[in-house]
Protein backbone atom coordinates (compact mmCIF):
# COMPACT_ATOMS: atom_id res chain seq x y z
CA UNK A 1 0.00 0.00 0.00
CA UNK A 2 1.26 3.47 -0.89
CA UNK A 3 0.65 6.08 1.82
CA UNK A 4 1.20 9.82 1.52
CA UNK A 5 1.14 11.66 4.85
CA UNK A 6 1.74 15.22 5.91
CA UNK A 7 1.67 17.27 9.08
CA UNK A 8 1.30 21.06 9.12
CA UNK A 9 0.44 21.47 12.80
CA UNK A 10 3.58 23.32 13.84
CA UNK A 11 6.30 25.73 12.75
CA UNK A 12 8.08 22.93 10.86
CA UNK A 13 5.94 20.81 8.54
CA UNK A 14 6.62 17.34 7.20
CA UNK A 15 5.60 15.23 4.20
CA UNK A 16 6.32 11.49 3.92
CA UNK A 17 5.79 8.76 1.34
CA UNK A 18 5.61 5.09 2.37
CA UNK A 19 5.10 1.81 0.55
CA UNK A 20 4.00 -1.27 2.51
CA UNK A 21 5.22 0.22 5.78
CA UNK A 22 8.63 1.24 4.42
CA UNK A 23 9.63 4.90 4.19
CA UNK A 24 10.42 5.91 0.61
CA UNK A 25 11.07 9.57 1.26
CA UNK A 26 10.39 12.42 3.66
CA UNK A 27 10.65 16.18 3.29
CA UNK A 28 10.60 19.06 5.75
CA UNK A 29 8.69 22.25 5.00
CA UNK A 30 10.78 25.42 5.40
CA UNK A 31 9.81 27.37 8.50
CA UNK A 32 10.46 30.69 6.77
CA UNK A 33 7.47 30.30 4.46
CA UNK A 34 3.81 29.43 4.88
CA UNK A 35 2.93 25.73 4.73
CA UNK A 36 0.18 26.50 2.23
CA UNK A 37 2.66 27.70 -0.40
CA UNK A 38 5.05 24.76 0.05
CA UNK A 39 2.80 21.79 0.67
CA UNK A 40 1.55 21.00 -2.83
CA UNK A 41 4.95 21.41 -4.57
CA UNK A 42 6.56 19.24 -1.90
CA UNK A 43 3.97 16.50 -2.35
CA UNK A 44 4.50 16.61 -6.11
CA UNK A 45 8.29 16.48 -5.79
CA UNK A 46 8.19 13.57 -3.34
CA UNK A 47 5.88 11.51 -5.55
CA UNK A 48 7.85 12.26 -8.73
CA UNK A 49 11.06 11.12 -7.04
CA UNK A 50 9.60 7.60 -6.99
CA UNK A 51 7.87 7.81 -10.35
CA UNK A 52 4.45 8.21 -8.77
CA UNK A 53 1.48 10.55 -9.13
CA UNK A 54 -1.36 11.46 -6.72
CA UNK A 55 -3.60 8.85 -8.38
CA UNK A 56 -1.17 6.12 -7.21
CA UNK A 57 -1.60 6.97 -3.53
CA UNK A 58 -3.83 4.42 -1.78
CA UNK A 59 -4.07 6.15 1.61
CA UNK A 60 -3.90 9.85 2.46
CA UNK A 61 -2.93 10.59 6.06
CA UNK A 62 -2.98 13.91 7.87
CA UNK A 63 -1.70 15.13 11.25
CA UNK A 64 -4.54 16.58 13.32
CA UNK A 65 -2.53 18.48 15.91
CA UNK A 66 -2.95 19.97 18.39
CA UNK A 67 -0.96 22.97 17.26
CA UNK A 68 -1.49 25.77 14.80
CA UNK A 69 -5.20 25.80 14.07
CA UNK A 70 -4.68 27.49 10.70
CA UNK A 71 -1.84 25.16 9.75
CA UNK A 72 -3.86 22.07 10.60
CA UNK A 73 -6.82 23.37 8.58
CA UNK A 74 -4.55 23.90 5.56
CA UNK A 75 -3.36 20.31 5.81
CA UNK A 76 -6.81 18.83 6.28
CA UNK A 77 -8.21 20.78 3.32
CA UNK A 78 -5.41 19.54 1.06
CA UNK A 79 -5.75 15.94 2.24
CA UNK A 80 -9.51 15.97 1.75
CA UNK A 81 -9.07 17.39 -1.73
CA UNK A 82 -6.64 14.67 -2.80
CA UNK A 83 -8.64 11.84 -1.24
CA UNK A 84 -11.89 13.00 -2.79
CA UNK A 85 -10.40 13.66 -6.21
CA UNK A 86 -8.89 10.18 -6.45
CA UNK A 87 -11.49 8.19 -4.52
CA UNK A 88 -9.04 7.08 -1.83
CA UNK A 89 -9.45 6.78 1.96
CA UNK A 90 -8.34 9.57 4.27
CA UNK A 91 -7.28 8.94 7.89
CA UNK A 92 -6.27 11.50 10.50
CA UNK A 93 -3.79 10.93 13.33
CA UNK A 94 -2.72 13.01 16.32
CA UNK A 95 0.51 14.94 15.87
CA UNK A 96 1.37 14.50 19.55
CA UNK A 97 0.71 10.78 19.23
CA UNK A 98 3.13 10.70 16.29
CA UNK A 99 5.87 12.29 18.42
CA UNK A 100 5.24 9.80 21.21
CA UNK A 101 5.36 6.91 18.74
CA UNK A 102 8.72 8.09 17.44
CA UNK A 103 10.39 8.66 20.80
CA UNK A 104 8.50 6.59 23.36
CA UNK A 105 9.00 2.99 22.34
CA UNK A 106 11.41 2.13 25.18
CA UNK A 107 11.28 5.02 27.64
CA UNK A 108 9.12 7.61 29.34
CA UNK A 109 8.37 10.50 26.99
CA UNK A 110 6.38 13.67 27.62
CA UNK A 111 5.07 15.70 24.69
CA UNK A 112 4.52 19.44 25.06
CA UNK A 113 2.81 21.77 22.59
CA UNK A 114 2.00 25.44 23.12
CA UNK A 115 -1.69 25.90 23.95
CA UNK A 116 -1.41 29.67 24.56
CA UNK A 117 -2.94 31.41 27.60
CA UNK A 118 0.14 30.25 29.58
CA UNK A 119 -0.94 26.62 29.14
CA UNK A 120 0.37 23.60 27.23
CA UNK A 121 -0.99 20.52 25.54
CA UNK A 122 0.55 17.63 27.45
CA UNK A 123 0.68 13.86 27.11
CA UNK A 124 2.91 11.24 28.74
CA UNK A 125 3.80 7.79 27.46
CA UNK A 126 5.77 5.06 29.20
CA UNK A 127 7.25 2.20 27.15
CA UNK A 128 4.60 2.60 24.48
CA UNK A 129 1.67 2.82 26.93
CA UNK A 130 -0.35 6.00 27.51
CA UNK A 131 0.28 7.15 31.08
CA UNK A 132 -1.29 10.61 30.83
CA UNK A 133 -3.75 11.14 27.94
CA UNK A 134 -3.56 14.38 25.99
CA UNK A 135 -4.88 17.34 27.97
CA UNK A 136 -4.40 21.07 28.51
CA UNK A 137 -2.52 21.92 31.70
CA UNK A 138 -0.51 24.70 33.29
CA UNK A 139 3.24 24.29 33.68
CA UNK A 140 2.76 24.15 37.44
CA UNK A 141 0.56 21.05 37.03
CA UNK A 142 3.49 19.04 35.64
CA UNK A 143 4.79 18.43 39.16
CA UNK A 144 1.79 16.20 39.83
CA UNK A 145 1.84 14.43 36.46
CA UNK A 146 5.51 13.52 36.01
CA UNK A 147 6.76 11.14 38.71
CA UNK A 148 9.62 9.41 36.87
CA UNK A 149 12.46 10.69 34.67
CA UNK A 150 11.05 11.63 31.26
CA UNK A 151 12.32 12.94 27.95
CA UNK A 152 10.41 16.10 27.01
CA UNK A 153 9.76 16.64 23.30
CA UNK A 154 7.83 19.18 21.28
CA UNK A 155 8.00 21.79 18.51
CA UNK A 156 9.02 24.53 20.97
CA UNK A 157 10.51 22.46 23.77
CA UNK A 158 13.70 24.54 23.94
CA UNK A 159 11.61 27.57 24.83
CA UNK A 160 9.90 25.64 27.61
CA UNK A 161 13.03 23.93 28.90
CA UNK A 162 13.98 26.48 31.62
CA UNK A 163 10.48 26.56 33.15
CA UNK A 164 10.03 22.78 33.04
CA UNK A 165 13.51 22.15 34.45
CA UNK A 166 12.83 24.58 37.31
CA UNK A 167 9.67 22.68 38.26
CA UNK A 168 10.84 19.10 37.74
CA UNK A 169 14.61 19.19 38.23
CA UNK A 170 16.26 15.81 37.45
CA UNK A 171 12.94 14.28 36.37
CA UNK A 172 13.11 16.25 33.10
CA UNK A 173 15.48 15.49 30.23
CA UNK A 174 15.63 17.46 26.99
CA UNK A 175 16.81 16.85 23.41
CA UNK A 176 19.41 19.08 21.79
CA UNK A 177 16.84 20.63 19.45
CA UNK A 178 13.10 21.13 19.14
CA UNK A 179 11.23 17.96 18.16
CA UNK A 180 8.62 18.30 15.42
CA UNK A 181 5.95 15.78 14.39
CA UNK A 182 7.22 13.65 11.51
CA UNK A 183 4.82 12.63 8.76
CA UNK A 184 6.17 9.09 8.56
CA UNK A 185 4.84 8.40 12.07
CA UNK A 186 1.53 10.07 11.18
CA UNK A 187 1.42 7.60 8.29
CA UNK A 188 2.17 4.64 10.58
CA UNK A 189 -0.66 5.60 12.93
CA UNK A 190 -3.04 6.12 10.01
CA UNK A 191 -2.17 2.74 8.48
CA UNK A 192 -2.96 1.07 11.80
CA UNK A 193 -6.30 2.83 12.02
CA UNK A 194 -7.20 2.00 8.44
CA UNK A 195 -6.61 -1.69 9.13
CA UNK A 196 -8.49 -1.62 12.43
CA UNK A 197 -11.58 0.17 11.12
CA UNK A 198 -11.46 -1.33 7.62
CA UNK A 199 -11.74 2.04 5.91
CA UNK A 200 -11.03 5.75 6.07
CA UNK A 201 -12.37 8.25 8.57
CA UNK A 202 -15.89 9.51 8.03
CA UNK A 203 -14.95 12.85 9.57
CA UNK A 204 -11.54 14.51 9.93
CA UNK A 205 -11.27 17.49 12.29
CA UNK A 206 -8.41 19.23 14.14
CA UNK A 207 -7.65 18.13 17.69
CA UNK A 208 -8.57 21.17 19.72
CA UNK A 209 -9.32 20.53 23.40
CA UNK A 210 -10.87 23.87 24.32
CA UNK A 211 -13.91 25.56 22.90
CA UNK A 212 -13.24 28.33 20.41
CA UNK A 213 -14.46 31.66 21.71
CA UNK A 214 -16.18 34.05 19.33
CA UNK A 215 -17.33 37.56 20.19
CA UNK A 216 -20.21 38.96 18.25
CA UNK A 217 -19.59 42.52 17.19
CA UNK A 218 -22.53 44.79 17.89
CA UNK A 219 -23.76 46.67 14.86
C-beta of residue 32 within 8 angstroms of C-beta of residue 120: no
Of 98, 91, 103, 94, whose CA–CA distance to 65 is shortest? 94
* CA–CA separation, 62 and 76 (whole Å): 6
Higher local confidence (pLDDT), 34 or 66: 66
Residue 98 backbone dihedrals phi, psi, to 5 degrees: -65, -40
- The structural domain count of the chain equals 2
Residue 180 confidence (pLDDT)? 95
What pLDDT is recorded for position 128?
A: 78
Q: Residue 65's domain is classified under what CATH number?
A: 3.30.420.40
Give domain status of residue 215, yes or no. Answer: no
Within a domain: 169? yes
Together in a domain, 166 and 105: yes
Interatomic CA distance for residues 79 and 59, integer angstroms: 10
Asked whether residue 203 is domain-assigned, the answer is no
**One domain, residues 100 and 86:** no
Residue 206, in any domain of the structure:
no
Residue 217 confidence class, pLDDT cut points 50, 70, 90: very low
Q: What is the mean pLDDT of residues 176-197?
A: 97
Query: What pLDDT score was predicted for residue 181?
Result: 96
How far, in Å, CA of 123 to CA of 129, rounded?
Answer: 11
Q: What is the largest CA-CA distance in the chain?
A: 58
Give the structural domain span for 25. Answer: 2-95+181-197
Query: Within a domain: residue 217?
Result: no
Average pLDDT over residues 16-34: 87
Residues 40 and 86 in one domain: yes
DSSP3 helix / strand / coil % (the chain, rounded to 5) = 35, 30, 35
- One domain for residues 39 and 144: no
3-state SS assignment for residue 172 = strand
Residues 6+ apart with CB under 8 A from 203: none
At 20 the pLDDT is 97
13-19 and 22-29: which strand pairing?
antiparallel
pLDDT of residue 129: 85
- Range of lowest pLDDT (75-89, 110-124, 198-212): 198-212
As a whole-number percent, the residues of the chain with pLDDT over 70 amount to: 93
Taking the C-alpha atoms of residue 156 and residue 179, their distance in angstroms, rounded to an integer, is 7
The answer on pLDDT for 96 being more than 60 is yes
Amino acid sequence: MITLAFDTSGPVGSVALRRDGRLLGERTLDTQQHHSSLLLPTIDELLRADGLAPRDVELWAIGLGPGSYTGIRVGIAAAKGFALAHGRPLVGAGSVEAMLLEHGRNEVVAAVVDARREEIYFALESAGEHAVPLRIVSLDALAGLVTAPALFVGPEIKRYEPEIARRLGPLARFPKDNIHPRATFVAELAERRLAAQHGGDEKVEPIYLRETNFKKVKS
